[in-house]
Structure 1
């Protein structure tokens, strides 16, 4: 176990972490952040889990961006400029930013430091926790042959539906090996419907462009700095200023979709290529999105919705049949691709809980379209709801 390293590349992470990191360095270089591990599934962790987890984190300190990886980013992500790639060249994980405690079968974890540095921890940490959990609890998965055939089966369903799909499953994958196997199958068999993966390292291995834009923490930080009412708007404004229309998908549910649509004015509705849906009823959301575009005399068929909320072939069939000829779609499928191995998948998250935009720490919250996906301190959630009249 000790010689085994779960994360073997600095790029074994979701693409949106790098795009956000670039924006943070440019706009908020001195801001700090705190993150916390949330065990939604109440999983019981085996004895000494914390020690083995720390060993894996310590190994991450030696990861460096290789020349070949830099060339891959230059070629496939031209909007990540050379000043950012120079930063990434020098970047190394600092395990001192992560505190882990185990009490009985519970794991507590806090991450704290400059936002521009700590932003990269969340996804690989979750991937490590997931892989170690299955390894140390000696859970037996189905065979690799069966995993490949299940992936092909799903792919055939998506091909029949003629829907575009992406793979978003790094954070809760069964293991790196399974993730790689699934991606190999998707890359070899998925043309022209498979759009790529959010995992930058595996995108490099399989010569695909990585996909993704921004996560909820981008908007959550803006709420801490500028207030809940205008967080969505300023977050979009700043994003556009950095990327000039590239990576143009807006995230719709940090403070519920009705609040997002209030901020998604005519200018943004025109310049952003579409919206990501990550919580709540997808059909209701689609109707609201179409209504919103029509209000500004924008033809919805020129826009798209990226659906990414806990998808499987049944849900995709249901959503895509409703959206057909109304608005374009793409489906980001996570755990259902990378952790469909005959075992229950883990329900874990790591979320930003506090931000220090300037002089003092401010609790941050996310008010999803459904209560279960909301995060943050109860008092702050109440305060945000009051301010936003939710």
Structure 2
């Protein structure tokens, strides 16, 4: 590994490396593509919408000066295509993606961000809509319509950023107690717009750390990732990198994955002379853990490691909205998934969309027996482990012997220490465990100035499915505060799942 990967540039915007984010259609998580294929099969021509939420606006708020850059990067997604080389990679690494789907993805699918993605700045009661076409009418902070030229060329973008910086300086005191947030909405056919979520979240995070918190450096990121990987490997834990959506930026994720590979390296070298991640067979023979892969298809392609992913909450949320009954959604979503991916090729079930308690009332008998395992994404992880062991042991089609072959994928707010503790508990209790680690890998930074060791915190941001087939979508979760949906819709879903027995 060359030393150039271990140190970073200054973090002022002019000196950061040019962003490579969203220059490949594969710079996204695998489960967006697996869900897209399933949506095309089961729910074609279904309208939907997504909404962006910043869960920690007081800690990390996107500055207004970031919006022209953000809009430009989102608009640039219209130019990305699945390349022939990328298709060959998907055919080799993701054989469950069918030829007909890959034909559609390569020849038919196109991002249309100017029609499908709306980015608004809400401040002082007005709304500034940042669009790429010049001369568009828009609202200023007072709510008055103005003609504001905004071009896609660098000079025009820099000019507009300077204007916004001056406006922000003069309005800071007058708007400090008023609404001051960015709003992002995505609308269109579900199969057409499903791929926006992860790259837009990654772009928002990158925009914040280009135009907001700039007090950080890439220095030490490679070494830190390698150390985390080495600790997990030594403990025996298998783990994947899940950090695309909240990464500091594209360059961080590249450096971190290289560090993870180095920390999980075998004795082999790749064609470029760099380390190759240890295989599962090598790790098991040595009694060690290993890097199972990354959720990001682009980096899986570049670094030739396995892509990892199955489904997200939106698969269950959308199904519930289409059925108009959340009590039926878990079983229907699992059954339809198995139709698209037979033989348990992607057989890890997500449990907490409408609470794990509701899920387990459905996940019995043949479902519990046939699915490889479950994913934990909210609530106490140790309690979840005990609950799943008890659930499997009490099911007549599973029982203790088969339970030992089941797997729990932990993916909620993990760091290295917690993953090792969970792995040790799983070994002791007799159930498989693997780990998807995100922000702890791709956005673990400290400020350069101020108090020594002070964290440069990641944004806590999400984009959730808001409506599907004309009905509002709801997510309950096992964590208080992670609910999404209006109070009326949440109450209705809670009433529906209360009927499960």
Pair in the same fold by TM > 0.5: yes
Q: Does 1:32 align with 2:47?
A: yes
Aligned to 2:122: 103
Residue of structure 2 equivalent to 1:225 = 322
- Aligned match of 2:311 in 202, 214, 227? 214
1:116 Cα offset (Å): 0.1
* Partner residue in 2 for 1:255: 354
* Cα offset, 1:376, TM superposition: 1.1
SS of the counterpart of 1:99?
Answer: strand
How big is the shift at 1:52?
2.0
Bigger Rg, which one: 2
Q: Tell me the secondary structure at the aligned position of residue 52 of structure 2.
A: strand
Counterpart Cα distance in 2 of 1:198 and 1:169? 8
The answer for the alignment partner of 1:94 in structure 2 is: 112
Aligned to 1:8: 23
Q: How does 1:72-83 map to 2 (within 5 A)?
A: 72-83=89-100
What's the counterpart of residue 335 of structure 1?
439
| Residues 124-273 of structure 1 mapped to structure 2, 5 A cutoff | 124-144=199-219, 146-190=220-264, 191=278, 192=283, 193-226=290-323, 227-244=325-342, 245-273=344-372
1:371 counterpart SS class: coil
Q: Which moved more, 1:281-290 or 1:301-310?
A: 281-290
Residues 145-201 of structure 1 show CA distances to partners (whole Å, capped at 9, x for unaligned) of x11111122112212221010010000000100101111121233124100000000
Matches within 5 A, 1:241-390: 241-244=339-342, 245-297=344-396, 298=398, 299-325=402-428, 326-342=430-446, 343-356=456-469, 361-389=470-498
Partner of 1:239: helix, strand, or coil? Answer: helix
1:148 alignment partner, SS class: helix
Offset at residue 140 of structure 1 (A) = 2.6
Larger mean CA deviation between 300-309 and 221-230 belongs to: 221-230
3-state DSSP class of the match of 2:234? helix
Secondary structure, counterpart of 1:311 in structure 2: coil
Q: How many residues align?
A: 385
Runs of 4+ in structure 1 off by over 4 angstroms are 1-5
Q: Is the 8 A contact 1:33 1:352 kept in 2?
A: yes
* Preserved contact between residue 320 and residue 329 of structure 2 (Cα < 8 Å): yes
Q: Could you state the TM-score of these two structures normalised by the residue count of structure 2?
A: 0.75
How far did residue 138 of structure 1 move? 4.9
Q: Deviations over 1:309-360 (max 9, x none)?
A: 000012112212221141000000000000012111111100001111xxxx
Give the Cα–Cα distance (whole angstroms) in 2 for the partners of residues 252 and 77 of structure 1. 24
Q: Which residue of 1 aligns with 2:83?
A: 66
